Amino acid sequence: MKILPSLGSLTGAGKWITVTVTTLAAIIGLLVNARNLGLTPWLGLGSVSFADLAARRVMLAPGLDTLTAIGDTVQLAATVTDEHGATLAGATIGWTTDDSAVATVDSSGAVLARGPGTATITASVRERMGRARVTVWQRVRSVAIAHDTLVRLPEGTTVQLVARALDARGRGVTGRAIHWESADTTIVAISPTGSARAGAPGRTLLTAATDGYSASIPAEVSLTAGSVRLLSGTDQRAPAGRRLSQAVTLQVLSPGGRPVPDAVVSFATDYSQGKAEPDAATTDRNGRARVSWLLGPQAGRQHLLITIAGIDSTLVVTAEADPVPANTRVQLLGEAPRGPIGMALSAPVGIRVTDSSGAAAADVPVTWTTADGGTIEGLASRTDSLGETWARWTLGRRAGPQRARVQVGNPRTIAPFAVTATALAGTAAAVAIESGAGQEAAVGSTLKRPIVARLTDRDGNVAAGARLRILAVTGSVQETLLVADQQGRVPLRWTLGRQAGAQWLELRASNDSPVRVSARARPLEPANIEPTGTPASAPPGRALPKPVVFTVTDGYGNAISDVQVVFSSSAGGVTPTRVMTDERGRATARWTLGAAPGDQTLTAAVRGTTVRTAVTVRVVRGPAKK
């Protein structure tokens, strides 16, 4: 039996369904109109729209594009669809780029090229994203040369030209090689990289090209002053205040050695009294210019300064202004000099040159010569700022007055000035060995014959009473200071030193260099014989690994050569048994030991003497002991 619900129950359920549907409709309406109603912040939904919530896919068009110039733009369109593919309007789209150095994008989807490369542009609606790739690849549309409208190059110079490849918007295109060419390489030669070298004067066209585009610029090579060459008029001389007989001529050359016409040349003198006529000139077609030079009234070197426009350095031409005889005075400084014959004067001799008013004549050339032997040497070739000059004078060997001549200025116009010195007879002595040199004696003994020295003055005269200083370099003398007799002789006794070989004695008179006397000292009789290098032990029946060496010396330790040493051994054998000592007093032999173990002795004796010694070696089986 079916029981039907009561009318009251149906009525309550309907009311519940009606309330639920009404509430859901209100919520949906609220979400749809939340932005218009201003309720989204209160609801915690931010700027999210219904389209944002319903978005399932974001697509960009175009998905791939290429921009060929910096500054080019492309507009990207974003399409937002729901899960059914229906397009949604009003979605909030965020735009980003992964490389802003390549491309940037604004909030409308407009992409701007910033640099070469590839960037990914992303459009996002909440977590839904769409992507497009934009490549910036510049295309060359022109070439620009970074220079004025004309390249001017002085002959022989080099300049680096710079050109750039540009895109359609005039931005530089990187990574493009620029190739340069010259229409006439004899005027301008240019490397492919733009290094331009100026050649012959003239005009030509330089072209820079890349990717089928090019630009050209005219180039002009001009002659400019690079150097100057003096052709004539140098090293002249004339009386002070007079004009040089020859004009000074010069030529201005380009760096390539070509004459430069129309170059501006300026002339100036370093003395206000002198004058260059003209003071400025321009070179002719052969690059030449001439100037006449009137010297100033002051004697000495005068200078003409030449400057050329375009050349940093100044050319200096020197001329000699000779003193004028009527206006020149020469005087000796100090008293008349005097000194020993053959000796240098104790102080330099000097003169002073002035004009007739007493003003110093500076920078005047001066030469010194002697007339009576001896030598004289100027300390300077010209007078100083006081008009003075000095010389060192070594007198000749003749006693009495001696003369020197001083030439001031030009010898053709001014007579030499004479200076007289008094030469005094000298007392200084020289040393000569008359006898006794080259003797030989035993070490430590006195030479049999005396050493006889003869003293003379510098002119060869006997120097009676002169003193002789003696220095025994080796050995000894009884007195170190002796006086010459009336014949200028000095005898002395020399006791040799203890070292064999050459020995020396020095004799000195006055301050002259010493005279050396030699003698040879021979060793005394043998007094010692010493072995060297003998091992303490050695194997039996074998020769020692090294020869045995015995050195013969006298009582002072001098090696004695050419004496005979006789060897004998207690066992075994020695070869040779008789040996003459060498120049170092050494006698050398080979010793072969006997076969029996124990001590074995080698005896060495100097023949004809009682000098002997022995050395013992222990004969052992096994390794020898040193």
Q: pLDDT by residue (tens digit) across 54-88? A: 889 999 999 899 999 999 999 999 999 988 888 88
What are the C-alpha distances in Å from 197 to residues 266, 367, 474? 30, 54, 79
Mean pLDDT across the chain, nearest whole number? 88
Which residue's structure tokens are 């030991």? 593
227-322, which class in CATH? mainly beta
Q: What are the residue boundaries of the structural domains of the chain, listed by start?
A: 50-136, 142-222, 227-322, 325-404, 429-522, 528-619
Residue 478 above 80 pLDDT? yes
pLDDT for residue 163: 93
CA torsion sign, 383 to 387 to 392 to 397? positive
50-136, which class in CATH? mainly beta
Question: Mind listing the pLDDT tens digit for each residue in 78-135?
Answer: 999 988 888 888 889 999 999 999 999 999 999 999 999 999 999 999 899 999 999 9
pLDDT for residue 461: 63
pLDDT category, 621, cuts 50, 70, 90?
Answer: confident
pLDDT for residue 504: 95
Write down the CATH number for the domain with range 142-222. Answer: 2.60.40.1080
Is 88 in contact with 80 (CB distance < 8 Å)?
yes
pLDDT for residue 399: 61
pLDDT for residue 233: 93
pLDDT for residue 40: 45
Give the CATH number of domain 429-522; options: 3.40.50.920, 1.10.357.10, 3.40.190.150, 2.60.40.10.
2.60.40.10
Distance of CA 443 to the CA centre of its chain: 59
Question: Mind listing the pLDDT tens digit for each residue in 527-563?
Answer: 999 999 899 999 999 999 999 999 999 999 999 999 9
Is 252 in contact with 306 (CB distance < 8 Å)?
no
pLDDT for residue 484: 86
Residue 388 above 70 pLDDT? yes
Q: Name the nearest CA neighbour of 224 among 279, 280, 264.
A: 264
Residue 33 above 50 pLDDT? no
pLDDT for residue 340: 81
Residue 376 tokens, joined: 């004289």
Residue 516 above 80 pLDDT? yes
Residue 25 above 80 pLDDT? no
Is 29 in contact with 23 (CB distance < 8 Å)?
no
Rounded mean pLDDT of 611-622? 91
pLDDT for residue 271: 67
Higher-confidence residue: 296 or 35? 296
Is 72 in contact with 114 (CB distance < 8 Å)?
no
**pTM over cut 0.75:** no
Residue 447 above 80 pLDDT? yes
Question: Mind listing the pLDDT tens digit for each residue in 40-57?
Answer: 444 444 456 788 888 899
528-619, which class in CATH? mainly beta
Question: Mind listing the pLDDT tens digit for each residue in 390-436?
Answer: 999 999 877 678 999 999 999 999 999 999 998 765 565 689 999 99
Question: Mind listing the pLDDT tens digit for each residue in 318-349?
Answer: 999 999 999 999 999 999 999 887 889 999 99
Amino acid identity of 620? V
Domains 142-222 and 429-522 alike in fold: yes
**What is the C-alpha to C-alpha distance for residues 327 and 319, in angstroms, rounded to an integer?**
19
Q: Name the nearest CA neighbour of 260 among 285, 279, 280, 281.
A: 285
Is 72 in contact with 113 (CB distance < 8 Å)?
yes
Write down the CATH number for the domain with range 325-404. Answer: 2.60.40
